[in-house]
Every structure is written in C-alpha cells, then in structure tokens.
C-alpha cells in the first residue's frame, strides 16, 4: 500500500469516526433530554405507582378498585361512571380507547406507599377469587425511592457532571472545527471561491450535514416524545407500562419486563447512555491523540 493510499484511508476512517461520533452524540443527547423530560413529568404526576387490575368480567364488571391514603390500602368502590374512570385515569383531555376502559382498568397507589406494603396489597388482591389478573408495576416507586437515596443521587450527579463535561468537550471540538472551517472559507473566498461548493470542501459539507442531522434528530426525539407520550402512556398503561421510552426499549430487548424491573431498567438505561456516549468520547480523545500518530499517517 502506498503512502498516499494509507493516508487517504486513514483520513476516511478519521472522518467516518468523527461523523459517527457526532451522530451518536445526537442520539445520546436526544435520549438524555427525553429521559429528563420523562423525569420532570414524573415529578408532576401525583401517582407514583401504577397498579392495573383487570377484574372478573362476570362477577365484578362494574366494580373498580381504587385507593385513597385516608381510607386504607384498598377500597371497594361503587360503580364508577365512564367520566369518573376517565378522571381517575387522568385522561380528562383525551378520549380513552375502549381497550383502556373495558375491561375495567384502574389503579392507583399514592406516592407515599412503600414498596413492601404495596407488594402485600397486590399479593392479597391476587389471592381473591374474583380478580382475574393483577398487573403490578413498581417501577415508579422503585425509581422514586432510588432518587431518595444519597448513593443514587451521587451517582446521578456524577453522571450529570460527566455528561456536562462531554458536552463542553464536544462544544470545544465543534468550535475548533468551526474556526478551521472559517479560516479555510476565508482563504477560498480570497482565491475566488463564491458558491458554497467552492467555499467548503466536501468533507466539511459532510460535517455540516451531520451536525444538522444531529440537531434534527434531537428535535425529532423531543417532538416525538411530546407527541407520543399521552398516547403511549395510555396504551402502555393497559399493559403495565408507563410510557417511558427507555422502558419500552428495555422491553423490546429483554422481552417482558418483570414486575419489579426498576433496577434492570436503570441498568439498561445507564448502559445505553454509556454506549452512546462512547463514540463522541473517542472523537474528543482522538483529536489530541492524533498528534501522536506518525507524521506519515496523519
């Protein structure tokens, strides 16, 4: 292989890695923002844990189980109207689908409940002959409790710091590239470059395109999250999911999410974030490392 070809290949690899890094960073950032938005939403939601009951259609079709902290763990309620069900399910602003209301699907446990008490209550409910199915999801509670522990706070704080550092490093990288591009553009302009094709070399146009694509990807993720979230929450709630895209992702990867899958989801989410952050990390590190390459390969 000739020296020139070696350089060309290494140059192509270099740009491919850079490009991959930018795109991966865009995705990672999108996931980060989506997760943050989800967390914010969770803070607003007065119900931490969703418990879904599908009662026996013959015996108790008109019966819903609701909870209230002041009346004890479980309370057999009177027949509820559809409007009341909608209100209970917090779907006041949207039309619930039939699948959500029939068979009767109700929840809910206030945030103050502890996981053990909830598990006991769910166990007791499962033992009842008139209850056909109990779908129990403790993710919200597990996550909330995890937030309460100092260890998790520390880890999450460090994670946020690392993310911030990545962001700063990437900004510096982009600023460096922008400066180099501006210098090259100025020179090309002086030498008679006019149109974008003569002002920007191909690989810088690709770069610019990648940055724009990453920006659009972030916007898309945000928009999709906002747009899909009510529908997702509603649809997934019926199946024991709460609309968290990361949970859905975990569900896709590992199949059915176990009842108390909070830890698994947290681990999966963390692993996904680390994996997504890895390529940009390589790019950021590769710039200074590039100076160490033999001159002939640069």
List CB contacts of 91: < 8 A, sequence separation 6 or more: 100, 234
Kindly list the distances between the CA atom of residue 134 and the CA atoms of 168, 265, 270, in Å, as whole numbers in the listed order.
47, 21, 29
Interface residue with another protein among 59, 168, 187, 293 (CB under 8 A) is 187
Interface residue with another protein among 75, 97, 149, 198 (CB under 8 A) is 198
- What does DSSP say about strands 105-106 and 47-55: parallel, antiparallel, or unpaired? antiparallel
User: Is-contact 48 107, C-beta < 8 A?
Assistant: no
Q: x/- site string to another protein, residues 154 to 183, per CB under 8 A?
A: --------------------------x--x
Distance separating alpha carbons of residues 221 and 27, to the nearest angstrom? 8
Q: Minimum Å distance from CB 173 to another protein?
A: 13
Scanning 22-30, 186-194, 223-231, 245-253 for contacts with another protein by CB under 8 A, the matching segment is: 186-194
Closest alpha carbon to 118 in 92, 147, 85, 144: 144
- Under rule CB under 8 A, residue 298 binds another protein: yes
Size of the site for another protein (CB under 8 A): 18
Interface residue with another protein among 15, 132, 188, 205 (CB under 8 A) is 188
Residue 244 burial (C-beta neighbours within 10 Å; 0-12, 13-18, 19+): buried
**Cα 166 to the center of its chain, rounded Å:** 18
- Under rule CB under 8 A, residue 285 binds another protein: no
- Under rule CB under 8 A, residue 6 binds another protein: no
Scanning 63-71, 82-90, 192-200, 273-281 for contacts with another protein by CB under 8 A, the matching segment is: 192-200
Q: Which residues bind another protein (CB under 8 A)?
A: 3-4, 7, 180, 183-184, 186-194, 198, 295, 298
């Amino acid at each position: 292989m000739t020296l020139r070809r070696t350089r060309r290949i290494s140059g192509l690899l270099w740009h491919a890695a850079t490009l991959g890094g930018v795109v991966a960073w865009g995705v990672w950032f999108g996931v980060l923002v989506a997760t943050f938005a989800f967390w914010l939403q969770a803070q607003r939601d007065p119900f931490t844990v969703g418990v879904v009951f599908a009662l026996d259609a013959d015996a108790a079709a008109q019966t819903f189980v609701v909870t209230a902290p002041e009346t004890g763990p479980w309370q057999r309620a009177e027949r509820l109207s559809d409007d009341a069900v909608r209100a209970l399910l917090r779907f006041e602003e949207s039309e619930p689908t039939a699948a959500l209301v029939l068979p009767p699907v109700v929840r809910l446990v206030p945030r103050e409940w502890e996981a053990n008490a909830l598990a006991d209550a769910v166990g007791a409910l499962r033992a009842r002959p008139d209850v056909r199915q109990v779908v129990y999801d403790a993710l919200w509670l597990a996550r909330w409790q995890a937030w309460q522990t100092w260890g998790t706070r520390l880890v999450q704080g460090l994670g946020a710091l690392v993310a911030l550092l990545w962001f700063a490093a990437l900004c510096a990288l982009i600023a460096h590239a922008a400066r180099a591009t501006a210098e090259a553009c100025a020179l090309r302009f002086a030498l008679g470059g006019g149109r974008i094709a003569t002002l920007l070399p191909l690989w810088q146009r690709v770069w610019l395109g990648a940055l724009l694509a990453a920006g659009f990807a972030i916007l898309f993720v945000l928009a999709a999250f906002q747009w899909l979230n009510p529908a997702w929450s509603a649809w997934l709630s019926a199946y024991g999911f709460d609309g968290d895209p990361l949970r859905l992702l975990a569900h896709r990867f590992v199949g059915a999410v176990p009842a108390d899958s909070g830890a698994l989801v947290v681990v999966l989410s963390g692993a996904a974030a680390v994996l997504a952050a890895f390529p940009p990390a390589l790019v950021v590190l590769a710039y200074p490392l590039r100076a160490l390459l033999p001159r002939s390969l640069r």
